[in-house]
Amino acid sequence: MTDYKALEHEYGLDLYPKRDLVAVRGEGAILYDESDNQYIDCAAGIGVASLGHSHPKLVEAIQQQAARLITCPNILYNDVRSKLLEKLVEVTPLSLTQAYLCNSGTEANEAALKFARLHTGRPNFVTAMRGFHGRTMGSVSATFTKKYREAFEPLVPGFDYVPLNKIEKLEAVVNDKTAAVMLELVQGEGGVNLIQADYIAAARELCNERGALLIIDEIQTGFCRTGKFFACEYFDLQPDIMTIAKSMGGGVPIGATMLSADFEVGPGLHGTTFGGNPLACAAALAAIDVFQNDDLAKRAAELGDYFETQLKAEDLSQVRVVRRLGLMIGIELKQKAQEKLTHLLDNKIVALPAGANVIRMLPPLIIEKEQIDRVVAVLRACLA
Ligand SMILES: *Cc1c(COP(=O)(O)O)cnc(C)c1O
């Protein structure tokens, strides 16, 4: 049998902390390795495969569109793209009435930063400590964690970082040079940290008062993950810009920057070759259809509750606290998470870290209760 691991190590750039699993096939919440061993996938492509792997409706839409039209430049109109644009405006908060389509989360954030400077004529941004917004030069400048930034300096100037949920800190830095405040409503990579309702309401007000835009990064929280279609709905929040990606296409790369009505960006100022391609748009339309018709927001809320109740973390001696919104679950340990993640994988469960001592679970929203029971049993055994 071909040694796929050796090939990746030999020819791939060594960027990722690899797990000992060659995933070759997926179905629902299950991943299969070369020998057909089954793993429960609580990483889901890092919050991407919310519909599970190879959802039949998604597969059908991609197959049909692949046979019809895969690429179409944005200088031409396209049937599928036009329908997706309309759909995105329908499902996102009311304040957002226009969309820019791209291919990934970081591109959605790059566009958000550019459009914010363009619209306000102001240079600066404020983001949150422990926030994560992506790896390209603008997005990584918006990202707090030094490890991601330092080696690549000089970065885009004009970024300030403030601690989350401390409104006085935000008040101290937002001024007439601030183009935008950019926040996640639940910090994903940074440890599954939940924003407080009074904080985000005050931040919205502060931005209005001082003429700064509010950018909400829903790249990880979006599309039913937190128990609402978008986490904004928990706070009745109307952002000026919202960025989305990850589970938007059910696994097919696609992202978008959603904007309020008053943005005007003239032709030629920004763009993308692949963004808005019919193949990815067809996948996103099919995925959104399933999110809506199967009410996966409700399912994420219920299964998240179930997961936490079954876990009963209070009696687990190695757990400090569980933070959770829907099926976005962070289990903060009193020790490093890595050893536990290895133990989980040995027990055929794929999970994620979020910082050094948080186990993060982002299972497909279609995961079955019995599969959660299995995950919880292994977690309880290794965290008692
Ligand atoms: C993953 C993520 C990004 C970056 O998305 P990519 O598609 O990896 O570029 C940005 N913001 C948040 C909140 C994310 O979780």
Our mutation pick for probing the ligand 1 site, out of 148, 219, 248, 272, counting the most ligand atoms within 8 A of Cβ, is: 219
Asked if omega into 253 is within 30° of 0 (cis), the reply is no
Is the CB of 131 within 6 Å of ligand 1?
Answer: no
- Evaluated on CA atoms 296, 299, 305, 308, the torsion sign reads negative
Fold of 57-293: Aspartate Aminotransferase; domain 2 (3.40.640)
Arch. (CATH architecture) of 4-52+295-383: Alpha-Beta Complex (3.90)
Take atom 15 of ligand 1 and give the residue whose Cα is closest: 220
* Identity of residue 115: F
Measured from the CB, is residue 130 less than 6 Å from ligand 1?
A: no
Domain with CATH 3.40.640.10 in the chain: 57-293
Of all helices (H) and strands (E), which one includes residue 186? strand 186-187
pTM score of the predicted model: 0.98
Q: How far apart are CA 94 and CA 92, in angstroms?
A: 6
Sign of CA dihedral 244, 249, 253, 259: negative
Q: Which of 16, 132, 194 to mutate to test the pocket of ligand 1 (most atoms within 8 A of CB)?
A: 132
217 pocket-lining for ligand 1 (C-beta < 6 Å): yes
- For the chain, 384 residues long, give each residue's pLDDT as a single digit of tens: 799 999 999 999 999 999 999 999 999 999 999 999 999 999 999 999 999 999 999 999 999 999 999 999 999 999 999 999 999 999 999 999 999 999 999 999 999 999 999 999 999 999 999 999 999 999 999 999 999 999 999 999 999 999 999 999 999 999 999 999 999 999 999 999 999 999 999 999 999 999 999 999 999 999 999 999 999 999 999 999 999 999 999 999 999 999 999 999 999 999 999 999 999 999 999 999 999 999 999 999 999 999 999 998 889 999 999 999 999 999 999 999 999 999 999 999 999 999 999 999 999 999 999 999 999 999 999 999
For residue 106, the ligand 1 atom closest to its alpha carbon is 9
